[in-house]
Amino acid sequence: MPEGHTIHRLAEDHLARFGGRPVRVSSPQGKFSDSAALLDGRVLDAVDAHGKHLFLGFGGTGWVHIHLGLFGKVGFGGAPAPPPTDTVRLRLVSPAAHMDLRGPTTCALITDPEKRAIHDRLGPDPLRARDDGTGDDGEKAWARISRSRTTVAALLMDQKVIAGVGNVYRAEVLFRHGIDPYRAGRELRRAEWDAIWADLVALMREGVRNNRIDTVRPEHTPEAMGRPPRVDDHGGEVYVYRRARMACLLCGGEIRTETLAARNLFWCPGCQRA
Ligand SMILES: [Zn+2]
């Protein structure tokens, strides 16, 4: 499942390719046809992202709410668009570009109040934080984490607690702060949470910029350590994610893996202590 940085990047990419001009909207697969007919020829004038939810705004007509889920895919291409296959749920076409959405969990036309209701049930998103202090901050997440008996690794994956963090960022941010993933939320100290939130803001912004997840500090890059770069279809340099049974870059101990909150958790028992 894509993590939040991918969705925020998709929002930017849609605005760059289709923003401010009329867009041809269709649903070759048919499941979104009625809504596509309402949107066809209207101007895409806003985009938004919150966690793993993407919103494409068409003025007074409403928002297209997209959640990719496990299998959804967005594909951008040039113009003219090739004939669509019947797996395309949503197609956008401009004179210069096209976009095909396939296999999303959600693709629905919603109103402003319906969009607000989605925001209300999601936790704060590190990518919605603003440098001037407006936007999301870690307070709402801390209020829930600090009184929870649930493990911090599970809390970080709970989109109602914090939105946009997925399996890679949760493993990596806990490693970077030396926190045992099995610690209960209420055993986390306030200063630790503030550091985790600030780190997620920085790491995920970099993820949007580079369109991949890199979490190693400058002294642990392949160049700095004289080691070969990581080979993995996720790309990016990381400390523990998908490095089970390999040597920790810091302590040399063995990285471990176990299933937690339905996903594989990775951590270094040597560096991450209770
Ligand atoms: Zn280690």
Distance of CA 90 to the CA centre of its chain: 21
* End-to-end alpha carbon distance in the chain: 29
Å from CA of 253 to ligand 1 middle:
5
What structural domains does the chain harbor? 4-121 (3.20.190.10), 126-267 (1.10.8.50)
Q: What is the pTM of this model?
A: 0.94
Determine whether 183 is exposed, middle or buried from the number of CB atoms within 10 Å of its CB (0-12, 13-18, 19+).
middle
Å from CA of 228 to ligand 1 middle:
18
Å from CA of 146 to ligand 1 middle:
26
Q: Which residues are the active-site residues?
A: 2-3, 52, 263
Distance of CA 59 to the CA centre of its chain: 25
User: 45-62 as b/e, with b when 16 or more CB fall inside 10 Å?
Assistant: eebbbbbbbbbbbbeeeb
pLDDT means per 10 residues, the chain with 274 residues, are 94 97 97 98 97 96 96 96 96 97 98 98 97 92 98 97 96 98 97 98 96 95 94 87 96 94 91 88
CA dist list (Å): 166 to 113, 180, 199, 204: 27, 17, 15, 11
Tokens matching residue 139: 């307070």
Tokens matching residue 70: 């496990």
Q: Residue 137: what are its φ and ψ, rounded to 5°?
A: -135, 175
Reported as a single tens digit per residue, the pLDDT across 163-213 is 999 999 999 999 999 999 999 999 999 999 999 999 999 999 999 999 999
Reported as a single tens digit per residue, the pLDDT across 64-85 is 999 999 999 999 999 999 999 9
Distance CA 105, CA 73 (A): 10
> Residue 262: its pLDDT value, please?
78
3-state secondary structure of 22: strand
Å from CA of 71 to ligand 1 middle:
33
Distance CA 186, CA 142 (A): 9
Å from CA of 274 to ligand 1 middle:
14
Identify whether 80 is preceded by a cis peptide bond (ω within 30 of 0).
Answer: yes
Rounded to 10°, the helix 4-18/190-210 angle is 40
